[in-house]
A and B are shown apart, each in its own frame.
Chain A
Amino acid sequence: MSTVLENLVNQPYKHGFVTDIESETAPKGLSEDTIRLISAKKNEPEWLLEFRLSAYRHWLTMPEPAWPNVHYPKIDFQNISYFSAPKPKKLKSMDEVDPELLKTFEKLGVPMNERAALAGVAVDVIFDSVSVATTYKQKLADVGIIFCSISEAVREHPELVKKYMGSVVPTGDNFYAALNSAVFTDGSFCFIPKGVKCPMELSTYFRINTQDSGQFERTLIVAEEGAKVSYLEGCTAPKFDTNQLHAAVVELIALDNADIKYSTVQNWYAGDEKGVGGIYNFVTKRGLCKGANSKISWTQVETGSAITWKYPSCVLLGDNSIGEFYSVALTNHYQQADTGTKMVHIGKNTRSTIISKGISAGRSNNSYRGLVRIGPKADGARNYSQCDSMLIGTRCGANTFPYIQVHNNTAKVEHEATTSKIGEDQLFYFQQRGIGTEEAVSMIINGFCKDVFQQLPMEFAVEATKLLGLKLEGSVG
């Protein structure tokens, strides 16, 4: 491989962490007492404590999964503080923010008011008394949409939380989901009532100034009959966090004719070029198309984290329901990603589409792992899967693990896969037309990811396009 390309993809992450942390002291370790303490501290009702405890008891019996194609030192779960809430030190004004970070925001086109929140500036200093978040919340309330933190939802709408939480991802679903269920600190709750089309894209940006997202985040989105919502998670700006292990759970529920679109752009710290540090992102995301003609669509652009272990899935229970998964996963340096989806067809005439684009550079390892299961009653079910991998350089790896289980002979399942490589000759072709290597790589990658980017909401797509370019150009890391 040409050294130009090597240099290009091996630029260091120039920000590092925001290390200046004010942390509440908290004892480490996990036990039933810890869980009772968390629950008490949050003034939770009895049923939620029971939810946590049953999850914990289940977790104790479960082995840590060894099947993903990722490698990391064993995690000491007793060496984690489960209820400490380390907060990045609040800066007094934007003048105190690392200029490099501001440059990144500039390059990514992050709106001014969001920059402050992302940089950890005390946002109320920046925002006027009528903050964007407040205005936003009012608009949603007018149409009956509930969008708040999980803690608030437990207080204000316990019947909804009780009804739906754990109904898609049961407490004992898997090792990390069980851990999350036992110790989750906070997260987002979103409820779209019957027949309501959410008038705007819901974004976690707007909660960031009121609530710090935790290490064990929990998201629950419910769309009632005929409701429609598009939810954006994360952002393209590099996310700083001192917690190495992240184990989130996201549950989506779509009733009859409901439509949920969930888009993620993830750019957590991935470790340095030697692979030291970086976030472990072990997430359980699952959507249940409970009603007939419902639809759940996952779109993800994964560029960060040292290790990504994530399979946003759809359970297609309702007849004629639709599941979609569009993914771009980019790994560089020593990053490892084992990501994909599960499409479980239960209802009749259910349809699913999987488009996965994996890009590996440096010494990274990028695996697609996907399951398509057609149940015995899923007459006329259809799936189309396309998994493409692109390699940059010669020391990275790409794998595809498709699992297909068909128990109904009327089903139609298609799987396509390709592997390609950005080669010297491709780059030379661009150069010979006057186009520099960095721009060439960015153009090739964006061409490769086009099918996925088209699924993102417009402004997210623009940011994601820039982000991939930046990740590889090395201008910011």
Chain B
Amino acid sequence: MTGKNAKILLQVRDLAATVVGVEILKGINLTVRAGEVHAIMGPNGSGKSTFAKVLAGHPAYSVTGGAVQFEGQDLFALAAEARARAGIFLGFQYPVEIPGVSNSAFMRLAYNTVQGARGKEELDPLEFDDHVREKMKLLDMNPGFLDRSVNDGFSGGEKKRNEILQMALLEPRLAILDETDSGLDIDALRVVAGGVNHLRSPDNAVVLVTHYQRLLNYIVPDYVHVMDDGRIIKTGGKELALELETRGYDWVVDEYKKVGAAV
């Protein structure tokens, strides 16, 4: 389903980044083609979430080296909102609560802004309501979600479903899901995976940042990358995830260090 001929969506070269002066990313290289699903795994503190946030343009992080191209354009030339409009979606590990702002108003503004930027039709409140309810059915979500304030008082699972709902609405070219599976029970996990699989198409790509192999039973990746200390130190197929599940990360790190020492 993918191949070397598929269009390159994301090209990351030697990416380095810091937060409050501390270097977190130390030279990441990654190529994501249309139609692919990549899983990025690795121990806590390896830089996985930082990588996701840097791609989306979080202001707390400074890019100190390297380059990223998204569909051929310099990603870092775009403000965070412009990246979103261009088709990059970040599913947040900790979705933010916005009291007093209704979920439906928020999502409609996001939807129409993104649609407008892509030269597509915007929807009025009634049309949007129909549209969003249809998407919610796919995700097995209660319509009551729409009237609640954005993520305010949501349970962990509800927040994650809300992220997937937004992804389904915004139809990104590249979805980066930052530990969307963490804290989910098995039913919620299935729903989330269903949403991601629904998005999969030859034109789009998904990057899953995850701790656990569990999610990959439902979303089968084309590539599995292991991150450690701000670098991708090993890349393999879906079977690598299973191996990590049984053997842990230490052997990969050891292997990488040996190779490094030999060079």
Which residues from chain A sit less than 8 Å from chain B, CB to CB? 2, 4, 420, 424-426, 428-437, 439, 443-444, 446-450
Q: Known contacts being A428-B58, A428-B80, A443-B109, is A434 close to B85, with CB within 8 Å? A: yes
21 intermolecular pairs with C-beta atoms under 8 Å apart? A4-B59, A420-B99, A424-B60, A426-B96, A426-B98, A429-B92, A429-B95, A430-B81, A431-B80, A432-B56, A432-B57, A432-B89, A432-B90, A432-B92, A433-B170, A434-B85, A434-B170, A436-B113, A443-B109, A447-B99, A448-B99
Assess whether B123 is interfacial by the CB under 8 Å rule.
no
Measured CB to CB, the nearest residue on chain B to A425 is B96
Complex Cα distance, B106 from A432, in Å, reads 12
Q: Known contacts being A433-B110, A433-B166, A443-B106, is A424 close to B59, with CB within 8 Å? A: yes
Complex Cα distance, B105 from A321, in Å, reads 37
Complex Cα distance, B99 from A446, in Å, reads 10
- Interface size class of chain B, counting residues whose CB lies under 8 Å from the partner chain: 20 to 34
- When distances are taken between beta carbons in the complex, the residues of chain B under 8 Å from A424 are 59-60
Chain B 156-190 against A: per-residue CB contact (8 Å), 1 yes, 0 no? 00000000001000100000000000000000000
A123 to chain B, nearest CB (A): 38
B98 to chain A, nearest CB (A): 6
Which of A433, A435, A443, A449 has the most chain B CB atoms inside 10 A of its CB?
A: A433
Q: Known contacts being A439-B109, A447-B149, is A431 close to B79, with CB within 8 Å? A: yes
Which residues from chain B sit less than 8 Å from chain A, CB to CB? 56-60, 79-81, 83-85, 89-90, 92, 95-96, 98-102, 105-106, 109-110, 113-114, 117, 149, 166, 170
B91 to chain A, nearest CB (A): 10
Inter-chain contact A435/B99, CB cutoff 8 Å: no
Inter-chain contact B81/A435, CB cutoff 8 Å: yes
Inter-chain contact B100/A447, CB cutoff 8 Å: yes
- When distances are taken between beta carbons in the complex, the residues of chain B under 8 Å from A429 are 92, 95-96, 98
Complex Cα distance, B84 from A23, in Å, reads 56
- When distances are taken between beta carbons in the complex, the residues of chain B under 8 Å from A439 are 109, 113
- When distances are taken between beta carbons in the complex, the residues of chain A under 8 Å from B100 are 444, 446-450
Which of B56, B57, B84, B98 has the most chain A CB atoms inside 10 A of its CB?
A: B98
B80 to chain A, nearest CB (A): 4
Inter-chain contact A428/B59, CB cutoff 8 Å: yes
Partner of A444, one of B57, B58, B85, B98: B98
B244 to chain A, nearest CB (A): 29
Inter-chain contact B110/A435, CB cutoff 8 Å: yes
Inter-chain contact B101/A432, CB cutoff 8 Å: no
B227 to chain A, nearest CB (A): 21
Other 8 A-B pairs with CB < 8 A, given A430-B81, A432-B92, A439-B109: A420-B99, A428-B58, A432-B57, A432-B90, A433-B110, A435-B110, A437-B81, A447-B99
Partner of B113, one of A4, A428, A435: A435
Complex Cα distance, B80 from A434, in Å, reads 8
Complex Cα distance, B72 from A271, in Å, reads 48
Inter-chain contact A431/B95, CB cutoff 8 Å: no
Inter-chain contact B99/A434, CB cutoff 8 Å: no
- When distances are taken between beta carbons in the complex, the residues of chain A under 8 Å from B79 are 431
Inter-chain contact A432/B59, CB cutoff 8 Å: no
Measured CB to CB, the nearest residue on chain A to B97 is A426
Q: Known contacts being A432-B80, A435-B81, A447-B100, is A2 close to B59, with CB within 8 Å? A: yes
Inter-chain contact B101/A444, CB cutoff 8 Å: yes
- When distances are taken between beta carbons in the complex, the residues of chain A under 8 Å from B56 are 428, 432
- When distances are taken between beta carbons in the complex, the residues of chain A under 8 Å from B98 are 426, 429, 443-444, 447
Which of B95, B100, B102 has the most chain A CB atoms inside 10 A of its CB?
A: B100
Inter-chain contact B101/A436, CB cutoff 8 Å: no
Complex Cα distance, B89 from A432, in Å, reads 7
Partner of B84, one of A4, A425, A434, A450: A434
Which of B79, B80, B110, B117 has the most chain A CB atoms inside 10 A of its CB?
A: B80
- When distances are taken between beta carbons in the complex, the residues of chain A under 8 Å from B117 are 434
Measured CB to CB, the nearest residue on chain A to B101 is A447
B195 to chain A, nearest CB (A): 16
- When distances are taken between beta carbons in the complex, the residues of chain A under 8 Å from B96 are 425-426, 428-429
Inter-chain contact B59/A434, CB cutoff 8 Å: no
Measured CB to CB, the nearest residue on chain A to B99 is A447
Complex Cα distance, B168 from A433, in Å, reads 12
- When distances are taken between beta carbons in the complex, the residues of chain A under 8 Å from B83 are 432
Which of B89, B92, B99 has the most chain A CB atoms inside 10 A of its CB?
A: B99
Inter-chain contact A432/B84, CB cutoff 8 Å: yes
- When distances are taken between beta carbons in the complex, the residues of chain A under 8 Å from B89 are 432
